[in-house]
Amino acid sequence: MSDHTLQVTDLIKTYNAGKPNEVRVLQGVSLAVKPGEVVALVAPSGAGKSTLLHIAGLLDTPDSGMVQIAGTDMTHLSDRKRTAVRRSTVGFIYQFHHLLPEFTALENIILPQLANGVAEKAAQARAMGLLDHVGIAERASHRPAALSGGEQQRVAFCRALANEPSLLLADEPTGNLDPETSDRVFDTLIGLVRDTGLAAVIATHNLELAARMDRQVRLNGGILETS
């Protein structure tokens, strides 16, 4: 059995296959990430980062190839089982926070836990602990609109970690912030990842941020180059 948290092997993904607007996004991509390892996924816009992260995180399926999470082949699971594994094992962070506007910061972190069967008191305690960890406990009762961009993204990090995933997938997580805020928020993210021992794949075009991760892989022309 593989000791990798995530292992994708020979992924192929083509959109609009056989049509004039065919896009061959992934042409045999393999990547393995160990527990505690933080991998930078560097690629120009349109190269297929989101496609790869969505396939790795069980939000999309490849045309062929294999996705293994914690040594288990996810390729042939039913949709229902994939959803269950995704909820309990994978945390996602996007460029935009996608917090629910009508709920407070705290509630945004509690809700995914309730959906995963956690009792309300325990969910609340964990949510508060996470907000404290990222330094914004005093903002717990604020709705997203009453938070700064950096604070919104910190709440999104807490939400991604709410169900104690073993794999974190982040798609340009600080791409929407000004450079100074981006640096500080990135520090918070890396700190969280290191403290929890997660395996993480973090897509960025920012080479300085990429250099602070354990290693970098580059997606170009459908091929993943490992350095």
Positions that interact with ligand ADP (CB under 6 A): 15-16, 23, 25, 43, 45-51
The residues near 106 (Cβ < 8 Å, ≥ 6 apart) are 124, 127, 128, 131, 140, 141
The residues near 57 (Cβ < 8 Å, ≥ 6 apart) are 86, 90, 92, 167, 169
Helices then strands, each counted (H, E), the chain: 7, 10
Least spacing, CB of residue 163 vs ligand ADP, in Å: 24
Least spacing, CB of residue 176 vs ligand ADP, in Å: 14
Least spacing, CB of residue 182 vs ligand ADP, in Å: 18
CB of 44 or CB of 117, closer to ligand ADP: 44
CB of 16 or CB of 148, closer to ligand ADP: 16
Least spacing, CB of residue 174 vs ligand ADP, in Å: 15
Q: Which two tokens stand for residue 42?
A: 């560097």
- Amino acid at the residue 29: V
Q: What's the burial of 92, exposed, middle or buried (CB within 10 Å: 0-12/13-18/19+)?
A: buried
CB of 52 or CB of 136, closer to ligand ADP: 52
CB of 108 or CB of 204, closer to ligand ADP: 204
